[in-house]
Structure 1
Amino acid sequence: MAHVVFDQAEQRELREAARDEFPESLALTYVLEDLASEGIDVNGCRDGDDIRAEKGLPELSGEAFEVA
């Protein structure tokens, strides 16, 4: 099982960056801080194509979407 773990200095830097970059989004800051402290299980990650297929969404065509 692949697992990325950050040392204490990296954890501190990641936490500080999360607080500085996303002060208006406490939920996002929490998630990033949690990733810093817990690490990342690379085997548990899925890419966007897998998630789209799981949700029954069509594949991306590579064309930009128009936003109204």
Structure 2
Amino acid sequence: MAHLTFDSDEQQELREAARAEFPANPALAYVLESLAAEGIDLDKCRDWEELRLEQGLPVRTEEAPNVA
């Protein structure tokens, strides 16, 4: 598929936004900063429903669309 990367200006903007938006959650800011620096390998991305099922969460239905 592809590897999404950011140029140096975009990286800096993403880092600043992560720090500004998540000052109370340094772990989340760190993850977002890492994504800015390393990019995202789209070949390794997984579907949200696949992750839900792997964790034993119920399948979403129209009766319960917002479960977990």
TM over 0.5: yes
1:2-58 CA-to-partner distances (Å, cap 9, x unmatched) read: 100000000000000000000000000000000000000111111211101222322
1:17 alignment partner in structure 2: 17
- Structure 1 CA distance for aligned equivalents of residues 11 and 4 of structure 2: 12
- Size of the aligned set, in residue pairs, is 65
User: Quick one: which amino acid aligns to residue 37 of structure 1?
Assistant: A
2:58 alignment partner in structure 1: 58
1:41 alignment partner in structure 2: 41
**Aligned residues: CA RMSD:** 1.4
User: Quick one: which amino acid aligns to residue 25 of structure 1?
Assistant: N
* TM-score computed with the length of structure 1 as normaliser: 0.85
- Identity rate of aligned residues, in percent? 57
* TM-score computed with the length of structure 2 as normaliser: 0.85
Write out the 4+ residue segments of structure 1 that deviate beyond 4 Å after TM superposition.
none
SS in 2 for 1:53: helix
User: Quick one: which amino acid aligns to residue 38 of structure 2?
Assistant: E
Q: Which runs of 5+ in 2 are unaligned?
A: none
- Structure 1 CA distance for aligned equivalents of residues 2 and 46 of structure 2: 14
